[in-house]
Structure formats: C-alpha cells, structure tokens
Amino acid sequence: MKQGQINADSDVQAPADVEAVLASRPKGERYTGLTAAQAAEAAAQNVLRGSVSPARVVDLATNFINALHGYAPNELPGAIKEIRDSIWREHFEEGVYRPHRTICGDIDHRSYIATLLSPSASPHILEALYNCLPGHLPEEHPSNLDQLRERSKELDDNVYDRVIRSNLGSILKSLRRGLLQGHEPLFLTEVIRNHARCFAVRTAHAKIDILRQHSIAPLGDRFCGFHDWALVGHSCLAALAAPAAIIRKLNEFEEAALCSADEDSSTLLEHLVDAKLLPPGPAGRAIISLAHVVEERLNTTQPEYGYHMGAALSIVQHKTAAVASLNRGDMKRDGSSRMDFSTLRIGLSTAEASSYVSLELLRAFAHIDLCIEAVLDNRPLPLQPVTAINRSQVAFHAVLLRTEGRPDKNAACIGPGSRNGSDELDRDRKSGRLPMASMLEKIAVPAIEREARHHLSIDAAAWFAS
C-alpha cells in the first residue's frame, strides 16, 4: 500500500444508508432508550473503563491512524482479541474450592467452617444449612476438627494438616494401608466426608458468585450499561450502539467550532458537551486529554504525506454504521431485551443456573460417598453419577444459595435489611420450584446441559485424587 493511502477494505458490511434505515422504521423503534447525555457518557466510558490503560489507548489510537495510512502495521486486531479473552476468562473460572496454601493449624474451626458454608457468615443461612445438610456441618464438624487436631498433636503426625489442606485421598490411602493406627477409622472417615461436603458447599457459592458477576459485571471491568442488573439488550445498546451513534454524529459537529476551541481544552469540552458528544466533568476532560496526547504524538512523527483525518473518520464510521443502527426493536426481535447474560452464555437464566448449581451440590454429596468407598476399596475414582435427586431439596438449596450470593435481583433477602423484614428461610414456601422446573426442562437439551456442566459442575473426585 502506498504512503498516505487509506486502507478501506473491510468484511463488515454496513447498511447502504443508515439514515434511510432509521427513517423507515416506526417511531417507537428508532430509539435505544438512552438519552443523548447517556450516549455521550457511554462513549467516554468505553474508552476510560477497563484494564486498558490510558497510555495503551493512546498507543492504539496512534497506531490505528498510522496503520490506515500505511505507515505502520495494524495492532488493533490483536489488542481486541486480548481484551475479549480477558473478559471471558474473568467469568468462566473452572474447578473446585481449595484452601489457600497458607492455611495453618491454629485456625478457629467454627469460624472457618462457617465461612465455607456461608461466606457472609449469616446466622440465618447457617441455621438453615444445619437443618438441611447432612452431617450437621456448622456445629459438629468444627468440634470434630478440634478433636482431630489435638489427636494429631498427641501422635505427632500430619493427618490433621492433610485434612485441613484438602489432601483427603492421601489420608484414606494411608488408612487403607493400616498406617494410621492411632486414629479411629470411622471417626477419621467421617471427618473427611464432612470436610469434603464443606468444600462442595463453598464451591457452590463460588459458582453462584460467577453467576452474580454475569448479572452485574458481564464484561468484567469494561463498561456494560447503566443498570445495576445487566440484561443483554440494554448492555448491547449502551456499550455498542450508543457509542457508535456518537461516532456517526461527529460529522455533524461544526468544524469551525472545533478549530476555534482547539487551543482551549475547557472551551472544546464545552462545545462537545453542548453537542452531546462528550459528558461533562472528569470523563469528558479525560477524553480531551487523551485526544491531545494522540495529536501531539502524531505531530511529532508526522510523515511526509501527512494524515487524512476525514478519511480516517469515514473508515471508523463505516465500520460502526451497522451497530449504530441498532435499537430497542432489534433487541426485542432478537429476544435480547429481557435476556440475562447467563442465558446468553450458558443457556440457563441466572435463577435456573443457580438451581443447576444446587443440583450439582446434591450430586456432589452422593459423589463424595462413592469416592471415599472407592479409595478405601483401592478402586479408581468414579465419575459423578447422574442420580435422581429430590426436587424439593434442589429447590430449597437453590433458594439458600441465591439468598447468600444474590446472583439476581429476585433472589430472596433475609435479615434486618430484607424487603419483608424476615429472618427466616421457609422451605414450605417452595419459592425455588419454578426456576428448578424450567432448568430441568432446559437441560434435557444436550447442548445446554453440556454448557451448564462445563461451567457449573462440582467434581468431588478432585478432593480425593491426591
């Protein structure tokens, strides 16, 4: 490509005439539901928020202009992939809970187990778990850990340390080989069983926390809209369509006003705010500051043939024309207006996915028993069995998990700050039945069940593999 030539090749097909597309729609379908001020704020936040530093933004903007003119290789595709990969990694962690490597033998077992069972240490959650979980975990298991710690001190062995660090399989192997004569086998086996159950509950809470991140920060630290609980339609319009519409409006901005204000950042910001192209305040000033740095960088290294900024802007507008034309009608037709990000990514709504985590938790309890038997019998660890689970248990455990983790705006709330002032979790209300029923119906589709299992499964065998 010759110097100064704009690279306009693109596989993105923009509408032939975006204005004609917008004008042809019924009046109610022309809008995104965002005000002009919100669109300006969205455009600014798309640049300012997230893990991409201001210096990196300047580098990418400078490279973009140079690359379009043939003066430098284009780094933008790689940068976009890097950002996209970081977003997806943040929200699809896999695996099961493991205690931190610094955990030591002088911990308060009652407090530690309480936080495994309820990260908020809610007494209401713990009471409900005491009544519905096997092993009376909040009360009896801490006491048994105290006893095991004292017994290990008397025998000067590392059995307690191996339990607390989740090396459960190695202890059972030692027990099978007759190497732990100082420990009562049934007691030690039950401690291991209940410790694995606590890990399973903590893993379930971690999965619920991922679902919460889907609901409140579906794009990680990137801007994703103005609502506390994000839906796909609003986030698409706020994070994509509205900023793209701002780019389209740049052509309408008076060039004379831009030139006259060019030397005065405050005046320039005032003009851009009046034109609804930038938000007032720190966000607007930050964008102006970045633009000046890019301008200085380009002026410092300006090549012989110079830059054609109008053509560069046209390229950006062409690339964003299709998304700039999106509106609420499009979101409704696509089914995105009421869709949450859990549905988009997994195929289950947040409440349904929480029910799936509850199902996995109950399956994990049964899997733990099978794993213990397998190790003691010197057999390979079994895969998680797909066993029939009591539906009322699945529904109630899902309510407990949602109450603790608040993954969606409809999750139950208890305690003094609750909407109804209740301190109780009443299993007779069966408030988790509807999302559980729809979850079971959806996972009958193999593709949805595979996604749910991949992201939300609880593999108890991981605690017995060592």
Question: Taking the model in full, what pTM does it have?
Answer: 0.86
On the question of pLDDT at 419 being above 60, the answer is no
Q: Which two tokens stand for residue 37?
A: 């001020």
- Give the per-residue pLDDT at 106: 86
pLDDT digits (tens, 9 = 90+) for 80-127: 888 888 777 666 666 799 998 888 878 999 999 999 999 988 888 888
- Give the per-residue pLDDT at 423: 45
- Give the per-residue pLDDT at 424: 46
pLDDT digits (tens, 9 = 90+) for 160-216: 999 999 999 999 999 999 999 899 999 999 999 999 999 999 999 999 999 999 999
- Give the per-residue pLDDT at 26: 53
- Give the per-residue pLDDT at 24: 55
Query: Considering the chain, what percentage of its residues have pLDDT values greater than 70?
Result: 85
